[in-house]
Amino acid sequence: MSVTCYLSHTGGHSEETTVRLPLDLSDGKSGVHAVGSSTSYAKRYAASALLNLTSAGEDDDGQATGRPPNIDPEQWAELLLVKERETRGNLRHFSVSGSCPAAGEPFPSSDFRSQCEGSPQVKQLMGSPDWFTARPGLVTASRIADVVARTNSGYGASRANYMAQLVAERLTRKPTERFVSPAMQWGLDHEANARAAYEFFTDNTVEAIGFVAHPTIAMSGASPDGLVGAHGLCELKCPNTATHIDTLLEDGIPAKYESQMFWQIACTGREWCDLVSYDPRMPDGMSLYVQRLARNDEKIAALKFEVTTFIQELNELCSRLIDRFGLEAAA
């Protein structure tokens, strides 16, 4: 692959230089990540060559030397919660060693993700068979808008329909069959391109992640499209052109996406989430839209209340059905 850097002066003079690099397939990077990594390197080296810049010290690829900071008590509680849930399910995907930094021996933050990555709660990549298997009966970020849906007279019909779906999933232990429309399939087919475009234009690297359980609310979680750096997330949308145009003109985050993104932030403990709307059918300059949603603890607290209430009602409804018809009928 190659990247060309242009330098222009208002007087009309311009220069350019091109850097050609192979795809960076180190550390098991996927094709999209390899393109993003090589692009970042090439942009850096092309600009340095064009401006005759030199750097001092060893290039450690952004990896700061020395011992990483310790995880905080909240992250430690998340590890213990995940381990407890796995133990109850007779699973042994990882072990937690050490102690909370507030209580004693430190635990490096670099080990936090590695401790979790073997867990079935975070291991399934989005769209994989394991990912669908992990989600039946769980309240997920993509449906939070239905959980909080209201009309002038109370909760909306979509909330009742979603609860009925989860009741069926819990009692049968099977996921609801998904209908994939042509528009949905188009979005799935172009998601990798959306990720690559976002990585290129923001100079970020997106780390794929699967389902993440909420740290304190059982039977709920989120499946972000990716982790961005140490503090961020991204939510990729490849909508139909009319929806993409609406997003461009609104110049903000549509309400139907906001609750989903806030729940992703709540589940992952991240500080922000970038909405990425991508439509290659639009001309350059209009095909990619990125808008950041910052963490808002007040809105997250309101969502936690709604989700907790919803799950309590869901549990009671399942119990009533089992009490009346027996557990065998639910098997």
Task: Let me know whether 44 and 73 are in one domain.
Answer: no
- Rounded-to-integer distance, Cα 32 and Cα 199, Å: 9
In a domain, 217, yes or no: yes
Per-residue pLDDT of the chain (331 residues; tens, 9 = 90+): 778 887 887 777 888 888 777 777 776 666 666 677 778 877 887 777 767 666 555 555 555 445 555 555 455 555 555 544 444 333 333 344 444 444 334 444 444 444 444 444 444 444 444 434 445 789 999 999 999 999 999 999 999 999 999 999 988 888 887 778 888 899 889 999 999 999 999 999 999 888 899 999 988 999 999 999 999 999 999 999 999 999 999 988 988 899 999 999 999 999 999 999 999 999 989 999 999 999 999 999 999 999 999 999 999 999 999 888 876 544 4
Task: Let me know whether 158 and 41 are in one domain.
Answer: no
In a domain, 34, yes or no: yes
Task: Tell me the CATH number at 281.
Answer: 3.90.320.10
In a domain, 326, yes or no: no
- Rounded-to-integer distance, Cα 107 and Cα 130, Å: 30
The two three-digit tokens of residue 52, written as one number: 């005759």
In a domain, 330, yes or no: no
- Rounded-to-integer distance, Cα 321 and Cα 313, Å: 13
In a domain, 328, yes or no: no
Question: 137 lies in which domain range?
Answer: 124-320
Q: What is the pLDDT of residue 328?
A: 56
- Rounded-to-integer distance, Cα 271 and Cα 159, Å: 28
Task: Let me know whether 197 and 222 are in one domain.
Answer: yes
Looking at the 3D structure of the chain, how many domains does it have?
A: 3
Q: What is the pLDDT of residue 128?
A: 45
Task: Let me know whether 136 and 268 are in one domain.
Answer: yes
Tokens 């234009």 map to which residue? 201
Q: Among residues 204, 163, 171, which one has the least CA distance to residue 40?
A: 204
Task: Let me know whether 232 and 87 are in one domain.
Answer: no
Q: Among residues 169, 159, 109, 180, which one has the least CA distance to residue 307?
A: 159
In a domain, 59, yes or no: no
Q: What is the pLDDT of residue 253?
A: 92
Task: Let me know whether 118 and 192 are in one domain.
Answer: no
Q: What is the pLDDT of residue 110?
A: 45
Q: Are 38 and 1 in contact (CB under 8 A)?
A: yes
- Rounded-to-integer distance, Cα 127 and Cα 133, Å: 10
Task: Let me know whether 256 and 316 are in one domain.
Answer: yes
Task: Let me know whether 257 and 200 are in one domain.
Answer: yes
Task: Let me know whether 179 and 304 are in one domain.
Answer: yes
Task: Let me know whether 307 and 178 are in one domain.
Answer: yes
Question: The pTM is what?
Answer: 0.61
Task: Let me know whether 132 and 76 are in one domain.
Answer: no
Task: Let me know whether 88 and 196 are in one domain.
Answer: no
The two three-digit tokens of residue 295, written as one number: 């963490």
In a domain, 329, yes or no: no
